[in-house]
Structure 1
Amino acid sequence: MTGGHDVKVEGAKASSRARFLLRGALLLLAVVFVALGTWQIQRLFWKLDLIARVDARVHAAAVPAPPRPDWDSITREKDEYLRVTATGTFNHDKSVLVQAVTERGAGFWLLTPLHREDGTMVLVNRGFVPADRRGRADRAEGEALGSTGVTGLLRISEPGGAFLRSNDPSGDRWFSRDVAAIATAKGLTDVAPYFIDADATPNSGGLPIGGLTVVSFRNSHLVYALTWFALAGMSVGGVYIVRRRSTSSH
């Protein structure tokens, strides 16, 4: 009889330890989930502030594109989508086509270096060219000559290429607007570390088509936060259930 009683006592102690460890694990998970939810709330306010700042830049009056002395201080957070102007002469011989998918279908962005009056150059994304009009002769009417003014959005270089598709400078195949790589491939010097997405000002002949820049930011932080807080609530609920069952078993 004594041996059987001892086994039951030991079993009860083991069960009690297991429930204690389970409650501890659930409480730890709840703390972690709350921390993750709080972090997502912080990210949410950061993203909302970023969206507001970018929206203000997009709709603000255009300012001169950053000159050479300011190039080193340009950042994505501070300058991208700033509305800018630039004046110079296009070098159409050095243009590149970058694969693109837009609201008008698949085709290419036409990037052309603009020789500015201060001697520097900036790549200008003049706009979209449909795949069946990629030949220079098919869009020759849109090649602006002489001193030309450009208004558009400042964009930060896109190095490397696109998802699973690397730029191929030697083959003149481009999947991202990599300023440094394009400048090297085309023998350009003193090139700004950004490019300009031209606005919707029409070009002769209708091509290229500017003003197709999509300014959007994925913002799922609230959904993530609610998910983490829900998991925290479930963990706390699990602690309550384990404790209740532990109490009812005594």
Structure 2
Amino acid sequence: MSHPVRWPRLAIATLLAAIGLAGFLSLGIWQVQRLHWKLDLIERVDARVTADPVPAPGPADWPEITREDDEYTRVRLSGEYLHDEEVLIYTPSDFGPADWVLTPLHRDDGSIVMVNRGVVPQRQGEPAAFDRPEGKVSVTGLLRLSEDEGWLFSRDNNPAEQKWYRRDIGSITETKGFEQAAPYFVDAEMTDAEGWPRGGQTVVKFRNAHLSYALTWFALAALVAAGYGLLLWQEVRRK
């Protein structure tokens, strides 16, 4: 026995299927684009960290610095450390609980660049003894941008009490009263495999789950298409 096609039901299903397909396919395509962007970024960063060092950007170059184009560039710079203004920032490390040692470097042009000299393990909650070189020094390392935002469970910096929990360079240099401070810091390379602070601790790793996200969205689009196809088949059989 033949039954008439249920047009209202079919029209609603068609509209919902079209919206679902368009949405899921758009998200899948976007994730594919993000995948290519991330792979290109990883390739560029890998090239930067192994390239010959270039002079660290000076004040004239600071406004043009971007995370995508400049972070993890291998740079070199020289000057004198201002050890009286150093900042210790807690970090978990391969050596157990430790502190980053961020020390302002006063350059010949009068500008200040914060240098992350490396980690120092904590002993009973206090940093172990470490070297503080005097006089002019040369530093080679990776350009890093300020960590303005904390992680999920990180504590906020407390500039009033000079307590720092992340490498928010803008907040640190402003609190220190540095008038010409770079908007970046430099992760120093390891120069002494036995001494402290221990440089060369930068972790260059990018999370790349875009392929799995893309496959998920495309799978959902396929499910929508399959469900709509099943509905049409049922309507044809019913008629």
Instruction: Find the aligned partners of 2:93 and 2:38 in 1 and give their Cα distance.
Output: 25
Q: Which residue of 2 aligns with 1:69?
A: 60
Residue 195 of structure 1 corresponds to 185
Map 1:53-64 to 2 at 5 A: 53-64=44-55
1:81-100 → structure 2 map (5 Å cutoff) = 81-100=72-91
Letter in 2 for 1:56: A
Aligned partner of 2:171 among 162, 178, 181 = 181
The SS at the match of 2:123 is: helix
- The alignment covers a number of residue pairs equal to 236
CA distance in 2, matches of 1:51, 1:161: 23
* 1:133 CA drift (Å): 7.5
SS at match of 2:201: coil
Larger Cα Rg: Structure 1 or Structure 2?
A: 1
Secondary structure of residue in 1 paired with 2:27:
helix
Corresponding position of 2:229: 240
2:141 is matched with 152
Shift of residue 58, structure 1, vs aligned partner = 0.7
Show structure 1 runs of 5+ residues with no match. 1-8
Which letter maps to 2:223?
A: M
Q: Aligned partners of 1:90 and 1:30: how far apart in 2? A: 59
Partners of 2:39 and 2:213 in 1: how far apart? 15
The 4+ residue runs of structure 1 with deviation greater than 6 A are: none
Deviation at 1:20, TM superposition (A): 2.9
- The alignment yields a C-alpha RMSD, in angstroms, of 1.9
Say which SS state the counterpart of residue 39 (structure 1) adopts: helix
Query: 1 or 2, which has the higher helix percentage?
Result: 1
Does residue 110 of structure 1 match 2:101?
Answer: yes
Q: Please tell me the residue identity of whatever aligns with 2:203.
A: V
Q: TM-score, normalised by structure 2?
A: 0.92
Q: Distance in 2 between matches of 1:187 and 1:207?
A: 27
In the alignment, is residue 215 of structure 1 matched against residue 204 of structure 2?
yes
**Distance apart, 1:162 and its partner CA:** 4.0
Give the CA deviation at 1:25.
0.9
Supply the distance in 2 between the matched residues of 1:134 and 1:148 (Cα, whole angstroms): 30
Q: CA deviation at 1:119?
A: 1.4
Residues in 1 aligned to 2:72 and 2:45: alpha-carbon distance in whole angstroms = 6
